[in-house]
Structure 1
Amino acid sequence: MRFKTLLPAQSSLHPIDHRRRALVRGAASVPLLATAMFVRPALADPSVTRASRRLLGTRVDIVVQDSCHAAAQAAMSAAFAEMARLERLMSRYRPDSQVNALQRAAGRHALHVAPELMAVLQAAAAVSARSRGAFDITVGAFAGWRFGADGNRLPDAAELARERPLVDYRQVRLDARRGTAMLARPGMRLDLGGIAKLPILDAGMQVLRRHGLANAMINGGGDVLAMGQLQGRDWRIGLRDPLAPARLQGVLQVRDAVVASSGDYERCFVSGGRRYHHVLDPATGLPSAGPHGITLVAPTVAAVNGLGAALMVAGQAAWARLAGGSAGIDGLIVGDGGRWMSAGMAQRLRQA
């Protein structure tokens, strides 16, 4: 899902005006519950600084509050640099990334990988095991799909059948002691889209902390990390309704928290009267038939990383097994049958 970062609670703007403007501003951003920021009145405060960059296939926004503008700018520049470094390691779209090096060596030999990539691969293995394969980074083998600006493509059944044997998270061999990884079968490919973004954003937040900042927010393509507060109030995150994207279904107020999202309504196309979206079921290579959108709130990235994508495939029935027993995780699941939310999310969510 995608999010709106809304105005501080004490804003003098009329809430209807602010919601309408925020939705218009966020219309072109990606992916599911909007990544636009709407903090203009707060930015009139000289202690509030904002910057945006194109990273991770989306727009990443940082907003910080600090009395020293120059120090805030330096911290944000350092955070963007660190996130860009990690993207270069993990992007499947960069020929010089370690992910592509692993793919070129698939079925032949292991490679030494950076500690940051090893941590992401280990996290993926854990989520895959917990979700019984509903989450699987080797889904990248279904390479024939195309969604978006470079055109749409629907692979045929024979193509998916050829690629399906290459999808098996258990064939990603990790040796943490040696710092090596290997894809066991030739032709295997990785897609870290559901597991790498949150750690990369978190690395940016750690840079801000090391620069002495106490109040900051990073918003990247529907995933929001909030530290401290903005102008003495909790950060306000508006949740766009995946069943009616022109409206907000509620507002979350958070501090020192992660709001993570997954959804199916933006990267999609219609072919032969059927709608296809980018969240693929590893078992079939076809778009998942589960919920349309998932929102998770937790105190740490590690608590929710990969769970949204897993729940998109496994569905609401898997909530208790995947997240229900974990302290501090709240969830909202939106599907054709309506909306379900955990007791904690019901307490968090407010009317827009």
Structure 2
Amino acid sequence: MIRGAAGVPLLVTGMFVRPALADATVTRASRRLLGTRVDIVVQSTSQTAAQAGIAAAFGEMVRLEQLMSRYSTDSEVSALQRAAGRHPVRVAPEVMAVLHAAAAMSARSGGAFDITVGAFAGWRFGDDGNRIPDAAELARERPLVDYRQVMLDARRGEAVLARPGMRLDLGGIAKLPILEAGMLALRRHGLHNAMVNGGGDVLASGQLQGRDWRVGVRDPLAPARLLGVLQVSNAVVASSGDYERCFIAAGRRYHHVLDPATGLPSAGPHGVTLVAPTAAAVNGLGAALMVAGQAAAGRLLAGLAGVDALIAGDGRPWMSPGMARRLQA
């Protein structure tokens, strides 16, 4: 267990640490979702409200995951892929919103973020074994990666993938909205002191035990070590890194953040941590920075009010001025 100063509970991006202080008003639950572990912590004097809110939050997140999963044959993402190059598919408003967010981030990042990297389907990381596609396979799939070929008709609520064989991977853009839907469900049950943590993305509302939520930021070069601690309330901490889903083969490390231009793991930073007042402000931005690199940080962060960033490469981490003020040793 990791404890902060004076035993204050500490969350770590990518991992939830059990509150250090026994408190009957604190309720915690965990579930495997979105390819990771999702934790919910709420503080409430009503156990009935806490349990009902947590159940509603997980129910809503499960519903949205089923719509957007590329692994489920019944999902709308799978329906889009089956219809690729043939006809439009009517999609739920939540899916349309994610597709619009993806299109905006792709345009903003010049294609560094691209949900059509799902076409690079030969990679395997972790649970179902590891696999590296060969150069010929990647070359065949590369023409199918182009975010501009995802056509959206908001009026009709329809989307279409223009080319046969195109596939989507919404992993870098759907998780934050799904976690946010869970948080909204908690709030509808009157739970305003709450945290939802899913694989390094933390949504924090109110406080825990009278203090702001404390989130530890991992060092991507040594994930057991912290670069520092953030104190947040009514904010989002979004983290992307090359250490969560990775493997080593022939002395080389491979990770799941793929460069749309090559189909290979990105060669930019090892980790990105963002703090923002809303999930929408940073949705997809971490993955874009992982591909585009630190040199693109100024351009991609420009005009984003209240967004602070930490980008960790091989040397000293780069921090925006706001992050430098936020991050505590």
TM-score normalised to structure 2 length:
0.97
- 1:333 maps onto 2:311 in alignment: yes
Whichever residue aligns with residue 11 of structure 1, its letter is G
Whichever residue aligns with residue 199 of structure 1, its letter is P
Whichever residue aligns with residue 162 of structure 1, its letter is R
**Distance in 2 of aligned mates of 1:84 and 1:40:** 29
Render the CA deviation track for 1:119-140: whole Å, top value 9, x for unaligned.
Answer: 0000000000000000000000
Partner of 1:56: 34
In structure 2, which of residues 129, 135, 160 is the aligned counterpart of residue 157 of structure 1?
135
- For residues 89-100 of structure 1, the aligned pairs below 5 Å read 89-100=67-78
In structure 2, which of residues 47, 51, 75 is the aligned counterpart of residue 69 of structure 1?
47
Structure 1 residue 273, shift from structure 2 partner: 2.4
Partner of 1:224: 202
Render the CA deviation track for 1:268-320: whole Å, top value 9, x for unaligned.
Answer: 12223222111100000011000000000000000000000000000011111
Q: Secondary structure at the match of 1:173?
A: strand
Bigger Cα displacement from structure 2, 112-121 vs 318-327: 318-327
Whichever residue aligns with residue 219 of structure 2, its letter is D
- 1:184 maps onto 2:180 in alignment: no
Would the aligned equivalents of 1:7 and 1:38 in 2 still touch at CA under 8 Å?
Answer: no
Structure 1 residue 336, shift from structure 2 partner: 1.1
Structure 1 residue 40, shift from structure 2 partner: 3.6
In structure 2, which of residues 178, 199, 202 is the aligned counterpart of residue 200 of structure 1?
178
Partner of 2:250: 272
- 1:37 maps onto 2:17 in alignment: yes
Partner of 1:30: none
**Distance in 1 of aligned mates of 2:104 and 2:64:** 21
Q: Which runs of 4+ in 1 moved over 6 A?
A: none
Bigger Cα displacement from structure 2, 198-207 vs 335-344: 335-344
In structure 1, which of residues 8, 11, 15 is the aligned counterpart of residue 7 of structure 2?
11
Partner of 2:98: 120
Structure 1 residue 265, shift from structure 2 partner: 1.6
Structure 1 residue 11, shift from structure 2 partner: 2.9
Closer/same/farther in 2, CA of residues 167 and 185 from structure 1, 3 Å limit: same
**Distance in 2 of aligned mates of 1:265 and 1:63:** 25
**Distance in 1 of aligned mates of 2:242 and 2:32:** 21
Partner of 1:342: 320
Q: Secondary structure at the match of 1:190?
A: coil
In structure 2, which of residues 97, 109, 132 is the aligned counterpart of residue 131 of structure 1?
109
Would the aligned equivalents of 1:8 and 1:233 in 2 still touch at CA under 8 Å?
Answer: no
Partner of 1:306: 284
What is the aligned residue count? 329
Whichever residue aligns with residue 264 of structure 1, its letter is D
Bigger Cα displacement from structure 2, 325-334 vs 121-130: 325-334
Closer/same/farther in 2, CA of residues 34 and 346 from structure 1, 3 Å limit: same
**Distance in 2 of aligned mates of 1:254 and 1:49:** 19
Would the aligned equivalents of 1:37 and 1:61 in 2 still touch at CA under 8 Å?
Answer: no
RMSD, aligned α-carbons: 1.6
**Distance in 1 of aligned mates of 2:236 and 2:127:** 29
- 1:256 maps onto 2:231 in alignment: no
Would the aligned equivalents of 1:8 and 1:230 in 2 still touch at CA under 8 Å?
Answer: no
Partner of 2:296: 318
Bigger Cα displacement from structure 2, 110-119 vs 274-283: 274-283
Would the aligned equivalents of 2:49 and 2:190 in 1 still touch at CA under 8 Å?
Answer: no
Whichever residue aligns with residue 141 of structure 1, its letter is A
Would the aligned equivalents of 1:250 and 1:350 in 2 still touch at CA under 8 Å?
Answer: yes
Structure 1 residue 150, shift from structure 2 partner: 1.5
Name stretches of at least 5 consecutive residues in structure 2 with no aligned partner.
none
Would the aligned equivalents of 2:14 and 2:198 in 1 still touch at CA under 8 Å?
Answer: no
Q: Secondary structure at the match of 1:51?
A: strand
Partner of 1:29: none
Structure 1 residue 9, shift from structure 2 partner: 5.8
Whichever residue aligns with residue 197 of structure 1, its letter is K
Q: Secondary structure at the match of 1:170?
A: helix
TM-score normalised to structure 1 length:
0.91
**Distance in 1 of aligned mates of 2:255 and 2:150:** 26
Partner of 1:146: 124
Would the aligned equivalents of 2:67 and 2:76 in 1 still touch at CA under 8 Å?
Answer: yes
Whichever residue aligns with residue 341 of structure 1, its letter is M
**Distance in 1 of aligned mates of 2:64 and 2:213:** 26
Would the aligned equivalents of 1:106 and 1:188 in 2 still touch at CA under 8 Å?
Answer: yes
Bigger Cα displacement from structure 2, 52-61 vs 195-204: 52-61
Whichever residue aligns with residue 37 of structure 1, its letter is V
**Distance in 2 of aligned mates of 1:238 and 1:134:** 27
Q: Secondary structure at the match of 1:60?
A: strand
**Distance in 2 of aligned mates of 1:102 and 1:130:** 24
Partner of 1:78: 56
Whichever residue aligns with residue 181 of structure 1, its letter is A
**Distance in 1 of aligned mates of 2:4 and 2:252:** 41
